[in-house]
Structures are given as structure tokens and as C-alpha cells.
A and B are shown apart, each in its own frame.
Chain A
Amino acid sequence: MKKVIFITLLLVWLPFLLLTDIFPFLRFGMFAEPVHSVRQEFFEIYTLENGKLRKFNTYLWGIDEGVFHYLVRKYYYQNRMNEFWEKICLTHRKLYPDNLPQTWQLYQITLLNGTKEKKRIATYAECKP
């Protein structure tokens, strides 16, 4: 019993001491980081076909908007966008081999103190096999 209590408390407190994201012994507190300005950031992906820009529903890849936002953010800030694009292509080709849009555009939308700014951060050509 004493061993179980000790090990349990160690496992519960260790991630807090190390400040890690390791699952399942993860950080619990959402929203802990400091905020210096009221800034929000989102990412959206569009397809460009016959001159028309259409927002792509990432759910069609099995990824909801929240997860997509996290993924883009991670790859974008780690300068791994080429790898990100390869993975997107791989997924899209596997799921929709007969529907490969000509051009993709990735946008970063920021809301800073009530002002919205939409910036194109990447353009990709058709996913080739």
C-alpha cells in the first residue's frame, strides 16, 4: 500500500515538476501561458479550381478543424511545411485519387485586438503521384 501511494504521487507530480506534455501524465492546466495582447491565430486551407477559391473541409481527411489548426501550427513554426505538404498529398491521394485539385493555398488568419488579418503563407501545386 505504501509503495502504491508513493509511486502514484510520484507519477502525478513528476510531470508537473518537469513541465511536460507527455501523455498520459500530461499537464492539466489549459490556458496557463501569458497573454500580452488579445491575439488569436487560425489556419485555413483552400483549393483553387477554375479560378475559384474554395475552403477545404479538412474533416474529409479525418481531421477536424481543431486538430488541423494544431498540426499546421506545429509544422509551420518548426519550418517543416514541405513535410506537412507531402503528408497532406499522401492522405488526399489515398482517399480521393480521382479528385486532385490543381492548386492549394494555406492561409493564416490573425485577430489582433479586434483587427482581422488574412495572410497566404503557402501555395502548393497539384499533388502528383
Chain B
Amino acid sequence: MPNVSPKWKLLVAVFLIEIVAVAIFYGYFRNEIIALYQGKESIWAGVVETLYPRFFTEKYRFSVDFFLQKSEQVLWRVVAISWIAIGIYFWAKIKGFYEKFWQTNTTYHRVKFLQIFLLLGWLYESMTWYKSLLRLSQASVFYEPHLLFRYLPFPSQEIIFYVFALLYALSLLSFLPKYGYIFWFLTSIQIIVFQSFLYGFGKLDHTYATWTYVSVLFGFLLREAEKVKKGDFVNAWALRLMQVVVASVYLQVALEKLLISGWQWFMPETMQTHLFSHPTPLGLWIAQYPILCTSLSMLAVLWQLSFALILFFPSLKVPILLGGVLFHTFTFILMNVGGFPSYWFLVYVIWFLEIKKLPEN
């Protein structure tokens, strides 16, 4: 038997698993989705409700084809993404790009700057959250969180006070010179739990998506900073990971639009509907001109798709990030969605904290 390397074995395994998954989907799951749509019983009802809770609301709005197309996409996304990931991995290995990519540095003071910057954002938001949670506690009967959070009851007003006090205490403890990163992770978990309470009433908010991811990952950077003396360089692989995650988010945003709506997303009605749903004077003016609506839709998706290029071509950093500032600012001006300044572009600070030079011995 020829000596096959583990990497090639993995490739064959991925290929076989995916063929089996595709066969099971078309031979079995597709029919189960149709049955669920028609209101028939299925052992998969609970799984669908957990993984895609909107199914049972949206099925009254869209035809069964919409959901079949959606589920087929899930399957093909897994196939496509796994092969793209494997392709990028092998390409990066061949080019020696992969190792180089993670080798980057920053300074202790820059890490501390990012810590304060992220915390200021959370502390500022916590004031609004505190009031919102107190208010929502009056209507806690409507609280329907997903997954693990369903085992966490909505806190009473008294408990809300104490958990916020705990948040501020943990935030301060994260500045300890040793083991501060543990308190940072605890702070991050608490922030995620707060968001789960806020979004457990059906309405999701994307305002803090990238800010949250970056905050969680910051714990790893803080851990690296604790390993060195104040004047030394800090291994900043976690900073790179934050950049990859933010770029992934933008890529997913664009792909989601294209995969769910296809070319329909570029039709003027799409932008017009969103502009009418979130009316502002300038947005309503633009909604009158179909050509402007289509152009803006195309520009938005093009920019979101191209964001990931920042990882491979650092020279594109300024135009891409500037595009991001304009994109989020105009989303706010045209639809009053998000805010100004947006946390989505404030997080771009992570592209300005690296130091390429290796420390001198």
C-alpha cells in the first residue's frame, strides 16, 4: 500500500463525507423540509426551530421553493467553503504566506490602548443596556432566547444592578499585570450574555457584531502582552486573527445577499423597500431614482466582497477601510440604521496597531 500523507487522507475523507452528505440531503432531508412546510410532523422540527428559528414565521411569507433553495445553499456552502479553505491553506503553505501572516508584533502600550478603547465602547453602551434591561424586565414573559441561553432566566431588576456592578469590577480587574486576561474573558462572556438578554425578544441587532468578536479575541492578545516586559514587543497573532474575523464577517454579509437573493438584490425595489422602511429625507429622495438604488446596491456588495483583499494586499488598507467608513456612515444617513460613529468602523483600529519590525536583541 502506498504511503499516503495525512493531508491527502484528510482531502479524501472530506470528499467522501461531502458526497454522502449531498446524497442524504437530496434523498431524505429535502422531503422533510417540504413536510415541515406543509405543517406535517417531522422528527426534525425541533432541530429546524433551533437552527433556523425564523422558519416557522417566514414560511407564511415565502413559498416552499425559497426554503428548499436556502437549505440547498447550506449544503453547497459547506462544500464550497471547505474546498476554498483547503485551497487557500495549500496555496498559502506553498507560498510560505501562512506562517508569515501570523508573525507580527505590537507593543505593550498599544495593547493597553486597545484594551481601554474597547472598554470605553462597552462602558458607554452599558449605560443604555442597563436602562433597556430594566425596561425589558417588565415584559419578561416575551423573553424567548435561543440555544443555551434559554436555560438562563431573564434577570430581575435587582439582579441586573448586581451584574452590572460585576461587569465594572471585572473590567477593572482585567488591568491586573498577571491573569488580567482571565478577567477580560469573563468580561467578554458577560457582555455576550447581556446581548443575549437584549436580543431574546425577537429583534436582533448587528451593531456590536465585529466589536464583540474583536473584544473576545483581545483576551488572547492581552495574554501575550502579559508574557513580556512593558518595553518589549508583543506577539500579535491575535491581532491578525481579529483582522481575519472582521474580513470574514464582511465577506459573509456579501455572500449572504448574493446567495439568498441572487440578482434580485440589485433590482431597485430591494433598496427602495429598505429606504422606505427606514425613512430619512435623503434616503427617500434617492428611492425615487431606480438607477441610483441599483448603483448603491452594487457598490455596497462590491465593497463588502473586496474587503477580504485587505488580508492579502496590505497596500489596499487605506482605500478599503475608508470605503468602510463611508459605507457605514451612509447606511446611517440614508436609513438611520446603526449610528455615528459606528462600532463597525471604529473597530478598524486593529489595522493600525501592528509593528512589522522584529525586536532587536
Contacts and interface: CB of A to CB of B under 8 A. Distances in A.
A111 B92 CA distance: 51
B333 interface: no
A70 B48 CA distance: 20
B93 to A, nearest CB: 13
Contacts of B276: 38, 40, 111
Contact of A13 (B81, B196, B253, B274): B81
A18 B51 contact: yes
A109 B261 CA distance: 25
Nearest to A84: B142
A16 B256 CA distance: 8
B13 to A, nearest CB: 16
A99 interface: no
Contacts, number: 157
A95 B74 contact: no
A36 B26 CA distance: 28
Interface in A19-52: 19-24, 26-40
Interface stretch (B166-174, B265-273, B348-356): B265-273
A33 B196 contact: no
Contact of B52 (A19, A29, A91): A19
A61 B136 CA distance: 8
Contacts of B260: 32-34
Interface residues of A, number: 49
Contacts of B201: 63, 67, 70-71
Contacts of A90: 141
Interface residues of B, number: 70
A21 B52 contact: yes
Contact of A34 (B74, B147, B249, B262): B262
A62 B257 contact: no
A77 B57 CA distance: 5
B209 A63 contact: no
B166 to A, nearest CB: 19
Contact of B206 (A28, A36, A67): A28
A40 B277 contact: yes
A18 to B, nearest CB: 6
Contact of A67 (B73, B203, B256): B203
Given A19-B70, A35-B264, A62 B255 contact: no
Contacts of A4: 220, 238, 241
Contact of A24 (B52, B54, B195): B195
A1 interface: yes
Interface in B104-148: 135-139, 141-142, 145-147
A5 B241 contact: yes
B192 to A, nearest CB: 5
A12 interface: yes
Contact of B248 (A1, A13, A91, A95): A13
Contacts of B269: 35-38
B162 interface: no
Given A5-B241, A90-B141, A23 B273 contact: no
Contact of B73 (A19, A62, A70): A19
Contacts of B61: 77
Interface string A65-76: 011001101100
Contacts of A37: 269
Given A24-B195, A26-B209, A12 B237 contact: no
A82 interface: no
| CB-based closest 8 A-B pairs | A62-B138, A70-B202, A29-B256, A34-B261, A29-B253, A62-B135, A77-B60, A34-B264
9 contacts: A4-B241, A12-B249, A16-B255, A17-B81, A29-B252, A32-B261, A36-B269, A62-B135, A71-B201
Interface of A: 1, 4-5, 8-9, 12-13, 16-24, 26-40, 59, 61-63, 66-67, 70-71, 73-74, 77-78, 87, 90-91, 94-95, 111
Given A1-B237, A24-B195, 20 more contacts: A1-B102, A16-B255, A17-B81, A19-B70, A23-B146, A27-B256, A32-B257, A32-B265, A33-B260, A33-B261, A35-B267, A35-B270, A37-B269, A38-B272, A39-B273, A61-B138, A62-B138, A71-B142, A90-B141, A91-B141
Interface of B: 50-54, 56-58, 60-61, 70, 73-74, 77-78, 81, 102, 135-139, 141-142, 145-147, 149, 192, 195-196, 199-204, 206, 209, 212-213, 217, 220, 237-238, 241, 244-245, 248-249, 252-257, 260-262, 264-265, 267, 269-270, 272-274, 276-277, 337
